[in-house]
C-alpha cells in the first residue's frame, strides 16, 4: 500500500512524501482493516514528524491518529461491524495511509449524513475535549470554563460541549480578534487576545473576582501562572500540551495552596484501549447525535488531497486555522 513517510525518519514539512511500498497491515484479533478515505491533522503529527514526540509502544511509525473510511476485512472476534461499513475512529498511529488496522473499540459507525471529510475531523479532538472536561476536569453544570486555544480543534469541541451541558460561562483565549469572534459563534461567552491582554485580569473582571472553575490548557509555560491567578477556589487546571514551552522559570505557587487548585496533566494517545473505549462511548452518547443533526459544528479549515500533505502541514504550522485540516485519499 501507499503511506505518507518522512525522509531520514524526521524533518520539516518538506520531508514528507508518499511511500509507494509500505506493507499493508494485517488486522489482529478484535481489529478492523479499514480502507482510509480521509484523515485529520493534529499538532502531535508535527512533533512526531520532527522526531520530538514520544510514541507509545503500540504505535506504528506512520503518522496520523484519526481517520474515516470503509471496513475492508475483519480480524477474529470482531462483532458489531461488517465489511463495507462506513466508520471513523481513533488509532495509535497509521492513519496517513491507504489502509489502517485499528481496534473495534475505537471505531464508530458513521451517521448517514456525515461525510468522510467531516468524520475524519472528529475523533481526536472531540474525544480529547470529552476527556478534559469530564474524566479529568470533573465538569458539572454551572461551571465557568476557560479554554485556551479556543479556535483549535479541541477548543471548538470543548466550547460546544460545555455550553450544551450547562456551563454558566465559557471563556476563550486566542491570538486574534477574528478567532475570538469565531469562538463566540460556537457559544463562547467572551474571549481575550493573549498577545494584547492579560487574560487572568480580564477573567477576574468578568467573574467579579471569583475566577473560573475549570481551565483547559494546551499552551503550558506562558499561561500557567495566569491560570493559577484566575482559577476559582477549588478550581482545576487541565494541562493538555506545552505549545509555548515546557520550562517555567518562576512560578508563584501560593494560589495552588490558598485556593486549593488542582493541576493535572493528561494525554490520550498513551492510554490503553479500554480507557479510550470509555471515552469513545461518551462521545457517541453526548456529541455524535448533535453532530449528525447539525446542532454541533465541526468546522473544516481546508481539505487537501493527501498528495499535498506538505502543504497541509505547512498550513497547520502557520497557527492561523479555525477548524480542522483534512486530507483525502
List, for residues 26-48, the tens digit of each pLDDT value.
999 999 999 999 999 999 999 99
Q: Which residues contact 127 (CB under 8 A, 6 or more apart)?
A: 90, 268, 276, 279, 280, 283
Q: Which pLDDT score is estimated for 295?
A: 95
Q: How far apart are CA 250 and CA 328, in angstroms?
A: 45
- Strand 324-328, strand 300-305: pairing: parallel
Classify burial at 148, counting beta carbons within 10 Å of its beta carbon; exposed 0-12, middle 13-18, buried 19 or more.
buried
Q: Which residues contact 112 (CB under 8 A, 6 or more apart)?
A: none
Q: Which pLDDT score is estimated for 187?
A: 98
- pLDDT digit of tens for each residue in the chain (329 aa)? 999 999 999 999 999 999 999 999 999 999 999 999 999 999 999 999 999 998 999 999 999 999 999 999 999 999 999 999 999 999 999 999 999 999 999 999 999 999 999 999 999 999 999 999 999 999 999 999 999 999 999 999 999 999 999 999 999 999 999 999 999 999 999 999 999 999 999 999 999 999 999 999 999 999 999 999 999 999 999 999 998 989 999 999 999 999 999 999 999 999 999 999 999 999 999 999 999 999 999 999 999 999 999 999 999 999 889 999 999 99
- Closest of 302, 303, 306 to residue 2, by C-alpha: 306
| Start-to-end CA span in the chain (Å) | 12
Classify burial at 271, counting beta carbons within 10 Å of its beta carbon; exposed 0-12, middle 13-18, buried 19 or more.
middle
Say how far residue 279 (Cα) sits from the centre of its chain. Answer: 13
Q: Which pLDDT score is estimated for 111?
A: 96
Q: How far apart are CA 95 and CA 127, in angstroms?
A: 17
CA distances from 82 to 104, 109, 120, 197, 323 (A): 11, 11, 20, 53, 31
Q: Which pLDDT score is estimated for 315?
A: 98
Q: Which grid coordinates belong to 195?
A: 498577545
Q: At which residue does the C-alpha cell 514551552 appear?
A: 245
Q: Which pLDDT score is estimated for 76?
A: 97
Q: Which pLDDT score is estimated for 68?
A: 98
Supply the pTM of this predicted model. Answer: 0.94
SS3 state of residue 169: strand
Say how far residue 142 (Cα) sits from the centre of its chain. Answer: 24
User: Which residues in the chain belong to E strands, given as ranges?
Assistant: 3-6, 16-19, 31-40, 66-74, 86-90, 99-103, 107-109, 144-147, 169-174, 190-193, 212-217, 231-239, 262-265, 300-305, 324-328
Q: How far apart are CA 8 and CA 17, in angstroms?
A: 11
**Helices in the chain by DSSP H: which ranges?**
43-49, 116-120, 123-130, 153-164, 177-185, 199-206, 224-230, 254-258, 273-286, 288-293, 309-317
Q: Which pLDDT score is estimated for 304?
A: 98
pLDDT digits (tens, 9 = 90+) for 155-192: 999 999 999 999 999 999 999 999 999 999 999 999 99
Core vs surface per residue 31-59: b (16+ CB within 10 A) or e: bbbbbbbbbbbbbbbbebbeeebeeeeeb
Amino acid at each position: 500500500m501507499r503511506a505518507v513517510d518522512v525522509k531520514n525518519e524526521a524533518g520539516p514539512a518538506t520531508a514528507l512524501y508518499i511511500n509507494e511500498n509500505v506493507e499493508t497491515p494485517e488486522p489482529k484479533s478484535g481489529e478492523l482493516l479499514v480502507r482510509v478515505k480521509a484523515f485529520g491533522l493534529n499538532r502531535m503529527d508535527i512533533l512526531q514528524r520532527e522526531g520530538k514526540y514520544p510514541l507509545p509502544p503500540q504505535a506504528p511509525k506512520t503518522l496520523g491518529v484519526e481517520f474515516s473510511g470503509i471496513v475492508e476485512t475483519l480480524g477474529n472476534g470482531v462483532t458489531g461491524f461488517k465489511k463495507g461499513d462506513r466508520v471513523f475512529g481513533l488509532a495509535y498511529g497509521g492513519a496517513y495511509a491507504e489502509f489502517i488496522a485499528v481496534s473495534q473499540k475505537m471505531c464508530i459507525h458513521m451517521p448517514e449524513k456525515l461525510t468522510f471529510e467531516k468524520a475524519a475531523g472528529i475523533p481526536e479532538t472531540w474525544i480529547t475535549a470529552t476527556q478534559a472536561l469530564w474524566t479529568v476536569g470533573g465538569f458539572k453544570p454551572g461551571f465557568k470554563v476557560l479554554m485556551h486555544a479556543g479556535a483549535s480543534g479541541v477548543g471548538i469541541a470543548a466550547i460546544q460541549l460545555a455550553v450544551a451541558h450547562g456551563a454558566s460561562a465559557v471563556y476563550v483565549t486566542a491570538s486574534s480578534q477574528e478567532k475570538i469572534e469565531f469562538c463566540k459563534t460556537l457559544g463562547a461567552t467572551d474571549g481575550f487576545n493573549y498577545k494584547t491582554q492579560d487574560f487572568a485580569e480580564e477573567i477576574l473582571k468578568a467573574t467579579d473576582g471569583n475566577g473560573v472553575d475549570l481551565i483547559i490548557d494546551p499552551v503550558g509555560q506562558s499561561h500557567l501562572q495566569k491560570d493559577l491567578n484566575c482559577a476559582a477556589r477549588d478550581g482545576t487546571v487541565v494541562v493538555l500540551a506545552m505549545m509555548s514551552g515546557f520550562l517555567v522559570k518562576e512560578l508563584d505557587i501560593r494560589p495552588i495552596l490558598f485556593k486549593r487548585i488542582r493541576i493535572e496533566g493528561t494525554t490520550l494517545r498513551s492510554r490503553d484501549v479500554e480507557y479510550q473505549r470509555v471515552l469513545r462511548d461518551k462521545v457517541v452518547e453526548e456529541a455524535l447525535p448533535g453532530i449528525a443533526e447539525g446542532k454541533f459544528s465541526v468546522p473544516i479549515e481546508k481539505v487537501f488531497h493527501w498528495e499535498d500533505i506538505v502543504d497541509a502541514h505547512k498550513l497547520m504550522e502557520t497557527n492561523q486555522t479555525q477548524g480542522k485540516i483534512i486530507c483525502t485519499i
